[in-house]
Amino acid sequence: MSTAWTSRYALRTKGIKSSAIRELLKITQRPEIISFAGGLPAPDVFPIQRFQEACQAVLQTNGATALQYSATEGYEPLREMLAQNMSRYGIGAQPENVMITSGSQQALDLIGKLLVNLGDRILVEAPTYLGALQAFNIYGAEYVSVPIDEDGLRTDLLEASLRLGPKFMYILPNFQNPGGTTLSEARRHDLVLLADKYGVPIVEDDPYGQLRYEGEHLPPLLVIDRRRDNGHSIANVIYLSTFSKTLAPGLRLGWIVAPSEVISKLVQLKQGADLHTATFNQIVAYEVARDGFLDEHVKLIRNVYRERRDVMLNALQEFFPPEVTWTRPKGGLFLWVTLPDGMDSQALFEAALKENVAFVPGESFYPKNGHPVTPHMRLNFSNAKPEQIHEGIRRLSIAVKKQIQSRHLVPVG
């Protein structure tokens, strides 16, 4: 069917591509499949009763406000609470440094809108969060990618890439998606120093920072940057976080911390994008989180996810052949599996589906010009229950072993 719209589509593409994950997730929703593909929190940990109480309280005492239009920058008490919560980590943000977004994904979109012009380069980790690439692609971004290892971004390889003049760096320091790695403290200092030396600012994406299952909290880049420059306020780092992993993703609530002049630009862009984030959700989230509830709740989530991570790590050890290796994340939702050289992770994905188990092939997490030679898969350990995780890894090991065998049987060359 040719319509006036479709004939016009041919005129522009604007970097719209179908998302691999999106298409995959459709298949992996079949009930017989154990999926390690999504990045979904465990529904078991949603504080449903607390939400019920909060909805009642908000509608009874504050309904007319909660259902009305509201300020683009967000609900003031929520911004104050976030500023206060973050101050424990040394993030000295005032409420005017905080803007509420419709999930962290919107923060990425607004940052793309603000900063990226056609052909601008963004420095990203390889691999990196797929959704960030999607958000930036729309604005015509190009990428410079720098590999990660078990200590996160290889800062020793950074200078050559910084000399290419990227517009900004997009970095996930904690329990990286998809790598599961955490940027070491020494490298955090190196990164902040280099950012300043080359005048390249940092977008620090920290959705999982509170979900640490072992070891000590490391200072955010924002804090290191601030300390370096002796009390001048937040300068070279824009910091993003979210309630999606600590309260509930179905609320779509995230936030940006930035210098107030950056916030004021972002507020203008957000106004054109969706006027404001749902008032009701902001007030309900405030009501749920207040009086220390969120802190207690995060402890519960940590316990649940730590167990699931350990079940997955043990099952990998139990079932997987020695040619396969994986990261041992200290927090977050994902681990990253390195497959033997030459294995086709897309073919493995299809083979895994036949065993009723799913993951995301590693290629999805690289910009188009930065494909890896080594095949990978990303495994999520937060969503499936422990017994499913054990069984899912067993099934996956069958697919992996078959692929390895068939490689050995078919002579290369």
Cα–Cα distances in angstroms (integers) from residue 32 to residues 35, 63, 356, in the given order? 9, 42, 6
Phi, psi of 256 (to 5 degrees): -120, 135
Which residue among 91, 100, 124, 135 contacts its own copies (CB under 8 A)? 135
Count of beta carbons in the 10 Å neighbourhood of residue 275: 11
| Residue placing its CB nearer to its own copies in the complex, 49 or 369 | 49
74 contributes a contact to its own copies by CB under 8 A: no
Beta carbons within 8 Å of 36's beta carbon, 6+ residues apart:
357, 358, 359, 378, 379, 380, 381, 383, 384, 389, 392, 396
268 contributes a contact to its own copies by CB under 8 A: yes
Which residue among 281, 327, 364, 397 contacts its own copies (CB under 8 A)? 281
Q: Which stretch binds its own copies (CB under 8 A): 241-249, 312-320, 346-354, 358-366?
A: 241-249
Site for its own copies in 204-233 (CB under 8 A): 232-233
194 contributes a contact to its own copies by CB under 8 A: no
Cα–Cα distances in angstroms (integers) from residue 409 to residues 226, 396, 403, 404, 405, in the given order? 57, 20, 10, 9, 6
Site for its own copies in 354-383 (CB under 8 A): none
Encoded one letter per residue, x for contact with its own copies by CB under 8 A and - for no contact, window 85-124 reads -----------------xx-xx-xx---xxx-x-------
| Residue placing its CB nearer to its own copies in the complex, 43 or 342 | 43
Q: Which stretch binds its own copies (CB under 8 A): 85-93, 145-153, 274-282, 300-308?
A: 274-282
What is the spatial distance between Cα 73 and Cα 268, in angstroms, rounded to a whole number?
Answer: 9
261 contributes a contact to its own copies by CB under 8 A: yes
Q: Which stretch binds its own copies (CB under 8 A): 38-46, 157-165, 319-327, 329-337?
A: 38-46
Site for its own copies in 3-22 (CB under 8 A): 3-9, 12, 14, 16-19, 22
Site for its own copies in 303-362 (CB under 8 A): none
CB of residue 28 to its own copies, shortest distance in Å: 13
Beta carbons within 8 Å of 18's beta carbon, 6+ residues apart:
none
CB of residue 358 to its own copies, shortest distance in Å: 16
Site for its own copies in 157-176 (CB under 8 A): 167
Which residue among 20, 27, 40, 353 contacts its own copies (CB under 8 A)? 40
CB of residue 386 to its own copies, shortest distance in Å: 18
Which residue among 24, 36, 41, 122 contacts its own copies (CB under 8 A)? 41
CB of residue 280 to its own copies, shortest distance in Å: 5
Tokens 């720098």 — which residue?
Answer: 146
Q: Can you read off the two tokens belonging to residue 46?
A: 């949603």
